[in-house]
Chain A
């Protein structure tokens, strides 16, 4: 909030309550709940982007972000929508085959030693 206590523009918050965007659903219709760092991407390049009238502005926004692989967290952060909302919307888009999951989470919880060394190297050279 800026000083002056005026609730205007983005400080006024969203116009609709977050879960109005999901039709009130708080959990994905089906499928696994996406991990925070699950990576998703559009299944096809951009040409289908505007072909459908059943896409909401949020859907289009998400599809735009998914043109290259992106994490669920980054989508939530870029759209400023609650994570729960993003998960429902993403699940819908996955069910409609607009996007696919590239990586749900590190398989088995532990990445390979090679990847870990790469992380280490990346951190050292930051």
Chain B
């Protein structure tokens, strides 16, 4: 691939955009993802219409794909300019399960993820938690405090979601810019903390993020091992 002006993506300064980061905003349907993105984005939450495949196309590399139709996905994204060479993008995951493949694309190379939880439907965020655990992407859980929704102690939510102890759980109001800012700060702090400690500035090659520091991600250190999901489902908090 031809490279233009700068050949060293890691080095800073220079003109215009230098580093772009993405953060994935996940959570169940109606958990407030769009609201959260909108609260901090400098652009209106834009929606990128993604045409996945088109039935009108006669190229031959679509072999094996049965009854394909044109499908359109709306994807929320927001943009935050941090300084003259750092831009942060927030991508909301598509809610429908049939678009799960898009999660891979959104998560690949992402800094981390925020799982937005609605305490009225806490089980909606199980798939997100499972997903990020499986792909070893650092994530935090943000409880969106809806008006009138039962308030739980973040500790109870942690138990209900069967989260690893290192995963931060915070309460937030997805409508409030300051609150969302705090959520993002918590995530980046978590990402920093969960970096493999001594490997400091050596960029990991190959799979995502090298080996986690011992004890940081017990689950992640044994990728084949998954937590039994029934336990997670059973341990939901009793209403306060």
B4 lies within 8 A of A101 (CB): yes
Q: Which residues of chain A come closer than 8 Å to B205, judged between CB atoms? A: 107-108
Interface residue stretch chosen among B10-18, B122-130, B142-150: B10-18
Give the size of the chain A interface in residues (CB under 8 angstroms): 58
Tell me, in angstroms, the Cα distance from A27 to B53 when the chains sit together. Answer: 10
A73 lies within 8 A of B48 (CB): yes
- In B85-142, the 8 Å CB interface with A consists of 86-89, 91, 105-106, 108-111
Tell me, in angstroms, the Cα distance from A26 to B89 when the chains sit together. Answer: 25
A99 at the interface (CB under 8 A from B): yes
Tell me, in angstroms, the Cα distance from A99 to B20 when the chains sit together. Answer: 18
Contact among A35, A102, A116 for B108, CB-based, below 8 A: A35
User: Closest CB-CB distance, B71 to chain A, in whole Å?
Assistant: 11
- In B6-26, the 8 Å CB interface with A consists of 6, 9-10, 12, 15-22
B4 lies within 8 A of A43 (CB): yes
A64 at the interface (CB under 8 A from B): no
How many of chain B's residues touch chain A, expressed as a range? 35 or more
B59 lies within 8 A of A26 (CB): yes
The 9 closest A-B pairs by CB, nearest first: A122-B82, A100-B4, A105-B109, A103-B9, A68-B16, A108-B204, A37-B20, A69-B17, A69-B16
17 additional A-B pairs beyond A71-B87, A119-B188, beta carbons within 8 Å, are: A25-B59, A26-B54, A31-B1, A36-B91, A40-B4, A74-B79, A83-B50, A100-B5, A103-B20, A108-B208, A109-B207, A109-B208, A110-B210, A119-B88, A120-B188, A122-B86, A124-B185
- Residues of A whose CB lies within 8 Å of any CB of B are 17-19, 24-27, 31-32, 35-37, 39-43, 68-71, 73-74, 76-77, 82-85, 94, 97, 99-124, 126
- Residues of B whose CB lies within 8 Å of any CB of A are 1-6, 9-10, 12, 15-22, 40, 43, 46, 48-54, 56-59, 61-62, 77, 79-80, 82-83, 86-89, 91, 105-106, 108-111, 181, 184-185, 188-189, 191-192, 195, 200-201, 203-210
